Amino acid sequence: MRAYRISQANEKPKYLDIEPPKPGPGQLGVTIRCAGLNYADLLIQNGTYQDIPTAPFTLGMEIAGLVSAIGESVEGFSIGDRVAVFAGQGGLAEAGVFESARTVRIPDSMSFEEAAGFQIAYGTSHLALAHRANLRPGETLLVTGAAGGVGLTAVEIGKLMGARVIAHARGADKLAVAKAAGADHLIDDSEDLRARVLELGGADVVYDAVGGDAFRAAFRACNPEGRLICIGFASGDVPQIPANHLMVKNLTAIGLYIGGYFKFRAEVAQESLATLLRWYEEGRLKPHVSHVLPFDQIEQGMNLLRDRKSTGKVVIRIS
């Protein structure tokens, strides 16, 4: 089968023909229909991600497809089940083997394209806002990078949770996407972010996947007892937080890495995903996939993320 693999550290990924894997105990074999791309895929290739698999490995953190084989001691799945997996690796291939504990059945109404880009983006935002920051109805939520893969879901979930949402993004087209997802106020990247947020009454919760100047401006626009959630650093600039400012304004800085929950509190991530899938079935969530590309255009998809030319998710259709 074909797979998009990194053969050794510091080497660029290539399409290779490899033997199809067979599931062991606790694992499922899956015929992969679609795989979601994530900014973390770029960081893994650059060697700068916090959780890089040992080479050789196949890229692709999340997938959707059909169960093709069932390993020993696995219960609750049948051959042919439509499933999604947040695997961390192995997704950009025609087939894969994944832990059953990371696998969920998807609703019949959910397309493979939607399912392949659902778990990381929505899971990250729901865990960040509901579990970590305890976002409350009526509070003001500021989302930087609000048209990106995770940012757009933060806008949508924040609005669903009853917050007033301020979306910060680059350009009218991206801001329009954030508005369609529920944003109440829009701030272009060319504007003075701190001044505009303060004009709107300040932020109670900041959801930041950008870092750099955007984080620093958002930090200074927080209301007392504000919570700042660090999701990522797409700008490449990891900001330093002045602890004395945290103290004076009684602020809380919060880190969120969804992959970590599968290592130390998997039940939290699983409960969150169950809630999100229920919301999807109830029609309360509408995933936004801006690009669906064929298997031989993975690099084009990565460039869309690298150049910030996508909104929502970029998905690779494998078969």
**Domain residue extents for the chain:** 2-118+287-317, 121-257
Q: Residue 9's pLDDT is what? A: 82
What DSSP element (H or E) covers 299?
Answer: helix 298-306
Q: Give percent above pLDDT 70 in the chain.
A: 100
Whether the predicted pLDDT of 189 surpasses 90: yes
Q: What pLDDT was estimated at residue 48?
A: 85
Q: Which CATH architecture has domain 2-118+287-317?
A: Alpha-Beta Complex (3.90)
Residues with Cβ within 8 Å of 16's Cβ and at least 6 positions away in sequence, in order, are 2, 3, 4, 5, 7
Domain pair 2-118+287-317 / 121-257, same fold:
yes
Mean pLDDT of 183-188: 98
Type of residue at 12: K
Tally Cβ neighbours within 10 Å of residue 10.
9
For the record, the structure tokens of 41 come out as 């895929």
Architecture of domain 121-257: Alpha-Beta Complex (3.90)
Instruction: List the helix and strand counts (H, then E) for the chain.
Output: 11, 16
CA atoms of 277 and 106, how far apart (whole Å): 8
Per-residue pLDDT at 12:
92
Instruction: Report the percentage of the chain scoring pLDDT > 90.
Output: 91
The span from the CA of 84 to the CA of 135, in Å, is 27
Instruction: Identify whether the C-beta of residue 56 lies closer than 8 Å to the C-beta of residue 136.
Output: no
pLDDT band at 44; cut points 50, 70, 90:
very high
Q: Looking at residue 51, what is its pLDDT?
A: 85
Tens-place pLDDT, residues 228-253: 999 999 888 999 999 999 999 999 99
Round to whole Å and give the CA distance between 39 and 22.
Answer: 29
Please provide the average confidence, as pLDDT, over all residues in the chain: 95
CA angle 261, 266, 269 (to 5 degrees): 70
CA dist., res. 305 & res. 61, Å (int): 15
pLDDT interval class at 47 (50, 70, 90): confident
Read off the pTM: 0.94
Whether residue 65 has pLDDT greater than 90: yes
Residue 306 burial by CB count (10 A; 0-12/13-18/19+): exposed, middle or buried? middle
Separation of first and last alpha carbons in the chain: 12
Confidence (pLDDT) at 20: 92
Cα 110 to Cα 84, 134, 164, 233, 280, distances in angstroms: 10, 28, 28, 30, 8
Mean pLDDT of 103-109: 96
pLDDT band at 266 (very low <50, low <70, confident <90, very high): confident
- Tell me what the mean pLDDT of segment 39-59 comes to: 90
Sequence-ordered alpha helix ranges (H) in 16-106? 39-46
In this prediction, residue 260 carries a pLDDT of 87
Cβ atoms within 10 Å, residue 296: 11
Residue 99 has pLDDT above 90, yes or no: yes
Band of pLDDT at residue 272, cut at 50, 70 and 90 = very high
The predicted model gives 151-176 an average pLDDT of 98
Residue 18 pLDDT > 90, yes or no?
yes
pLDDT of residue 259: 86
Average pLDDT value for residue range 101-122: 96
**Residue 263, pLDDT above cutoff 90:** no
Nearest to 35 by CA among 153, 95, 117, 107: 117
pLDDT class of 80 with cuts at 50, 70, 90: very high
Nearest in space to 151 (alpha carbons), one of 173, 130, 128, 133: 128
Q: Can you give the pLDDT at residue 262?
A: 81
Q: Is the pLDDT of residue 158 over 90?
A: yes
